[in-house]
Chains A and B, each alone.
Chain A
Amino acid sequence: MTYEELLTETALKDERIIVMTAENRALVRNIPTVLGARFVDTGITEQTMVGMAAGLALRGRVPIVHALAPFLTMRAFEFIRTDVGIAGLPVKLSGYIPGFLSDGNGPTHQSIEDVAIMRGIPGMKVYSPANEDDLVKMLPSIWASPSPAYVRINHKKGVYAHTPYQPGKAEVVAEGKDLTLLVYGFLFDNARQAVALLEKEGFSVGLVNMRSLKPVDEEAIVRAARGSGLLVTIEDHLQTGGLYSIVAEVLLRHRIGAAEVLPLALNERWFRPGLLGQVLETEGFTPEKIAERINSHLYAK
């Protein structure tokens, strides 16, 4: 099932749902004909779209709003925080091409701080599925919840068959004694392949698909920290405020001071724009590069 098929099915069953977009129709190409007046395209007006979504939600609607992730989360940030956040309205934000998925667009289109800023809003939930299969497994409960939510939309096809989604829970793919990779979103598959490469080197490697970044599955993180010598956080996000920060917060809260955490993230910089494969190569996020970076960290010890 695709994102659009799920959205169509859900919206047809639930009259409360209004599908909105700030003129980004990539995910909702066929929705206008199916939903008619319950499809609203406000043009290139992210702030107005979010404000209107809050107004619709005040009247009992559940708006599912679409735009490119950077413009949705940053252009409309204060509208999300103030109109949706303060009021705690069930507005569902679908951010398209987050992280590396903006490939050749350049820094203006790079949403690599979205997790940090969205999770900073009280009451806002933040999700990042590994691929389309994971996405359609997660969305029904996200859309059914009364909370505001931000989803890093990732509709890339994956090969891994994900387990059913339990709200707020991570998917623990494997446990490992030497190290555990904690990953979310599009990089899941590369991390999974990196695990195989590291196992060939003789390491016992765990892998966790975080899925929900807020609320985060603290138990999964704590378990990995206690059972593995090293945690590696992998994310197409700035090192500040994303998974590395989340893990640090959890470890502090549980007083696990001795855990070692290696962050693979974008440290204080935007990534070099280009075609996706080359971006991953240049930024060190192909399976081989991930394994290599972890290996050299382990051997440096």
Chain B
Amino acid sequence: MTNKQSAELQSTALRVREHIIRLSAGGGCFIGASLSCVEIMVYLYTHVIRRDAAHPHDPQRDYLFLSKGHDVPALYGTFVEMGWLAAERLSNHLSTQDSIYWHPNRHIPGVEFHSGSLGHLPAVAAGVALDCKLRGSQNRVVVITGDGELNEGSVWETLLVANAYGLDNLTVVVDRNQFQANIRTEELVPLEPLADKFRAFGCEVQRIDGHDYGQLKEAFDGAMRPGKGGSSIHGSGGKVKVIIADTVRGKGLPSIEARADRWFCAFSGDEVLQLLEELHGNKEAAIESETLVVR
């Protein structure tokens, strides 16, 4: 990746983070888990996912499913930067007159499927990947999950089945930000050694720094290369790809980075201005708003 490409990606990510911070005002949003996956989301939509906004239902498109739906601010922020969603619509956040709320809605162009209940979209993505295989088409299917989300048994059932059907056109990206809602994953239901677990379930695993575009490029170049084409149970199909992206919850805002109590945040207008300053490397924000505990 050239320095110029990398600089462009970085400035896009910065603008996405600005959108996320603004969405944390008023009714609030899941800010930490949104900030952790910005680079993943920006890289996927700008460099990996083949999707023509003019033909959103093209059956040959690549699919990106957001299973950890609570990071929808990162998704919509990226959509704004891609030119798919008018920036003004973000100010309709939590209005019953629009479809922009705490989890993704399919009425927003670009959203392939709704989510919010964890552990659903790996299975939905596997269904789409299976049909692509059955039709012999070359679409790639990516699903982003959280790490806390890996608690749900349905994720692991999907891996068993997807590997049984040789769905090597399916890539699972884990936003490994180390947190469940209000507690570190390793302090509650430990996930490590995580790569070993995915390998034991039959997957091809890479582990990268999820904020490093060079590593994201290398990982997706590897994961998205054409598969064997075939699909058959216990047969010739390849393996499901897994990219464990190590990230920092709240990335970009030192005052909330990797803090268990910064899960769902509803900041005041003044705090939002301070956080925007902090994002740009100026003074660290002094936050007084209490954190709500909801999932």
Contact = CB atoms under 8 A, between A and B. Distances in A.
A2 to B, nearest CB: 14
Interface stretch (B48-56, B96-104, B136-144, B196-204): B96-104
A145 interface: no
Nearest to A46: B152
A106 B105 CA distance: 8
B96 A273 contact: yes
A68 interface: yes
B190 to A, nearest CB: 10
Q: Is the interface of B mostly helix, strand, loop or mixed?
A: loop
Interface in B83-114: 94-97, 101-103, 105, 114
Given A105-B103, A106-B101, A109-B102, 6 more contacts: A42-B189, A44-B148, A44-B149, A45-B151, A108-B114, A275-B26
Interface string A8-31: 000000000000000111100100
B94 A23 contact: no
Given A44-B118, A104-B102, A106-B116, A25 B96 contact: no
Interface in A265-294: 272-275, 278-279, 281-282
Interface of B: 26-27, 69, 94-97, 101-103, 105, 114-119, 148-149, 151-153, 180-183, 188-189, 292-295
Nearest to B69: A108
Contacts of B182: 23, 25
Nearest to A96: B294
Contacts of A48: 153
Nearest to A44: B151
Contact of A23 (B26, B102, B151, B153): B151
Contacts of A128: none
A47 B157 CA distance: 14
A97 interface: yes
A26 B294 contact: yes
A233 B256 CA distance: 46
Contacts of A282: 96-97
Contacts of B27: 104, 275
B150 to A, nearest CB: 9
A278 B188 contact: no
Given A26-B293, A105-B101, A43 B96 contact: no
A127 interface: no
A185 B256 CA distance: 36
A97 B101 contact: no
A44 B95 CA distance: 29
A109 B94 CA distance: 14
Given A45-B151, A105-B101, A108-B69, A23 B183 contact: yes
Interface residues of A, number: 32
A222 to B, nearest CB: 37
A19 to B, nearest CB: 15
A273 B69 CA distance: 15
Given A273-B96, A273-B101, A107 B114 contact: yes
A295 B152 CA distance: 48
Contacts of B188: 23, 41, 43
13 contacts: A25-B182, A26-B294, A43-B151, A45-B153, A71-B117, A75-B117, A104-B94, A105-B101, A105-B102, A105-B103, A106-B101, A278-B96, A279-B96
B101 A24 contact: no
Contact of B152 (A45, A97, A274): A45
A23 to B, nearest CB: 5
Interface string A35-53: 0000001111101100000
A45 B117 CA distance: 12
Nearest to A106: B103
Contacts of A105: 101-103, 116, 294
A123 interface: no
A85 to B, nearest CB: 20
A274 B103 contact: no
Contacts of B152: 44-45
A70 B26 CA distance: 25
A108 B115 contact: yes
A43 B185 CA distance: 9
B46 to A, nearest CB: 27
B102 A97 contact: no
Contacts of B189: 42-43, 45
Contacts of B115: 108
A33 B95 CA distance: 39
Given A104-B94, A105-B102, A278-B96, A23 B295 contact: yes
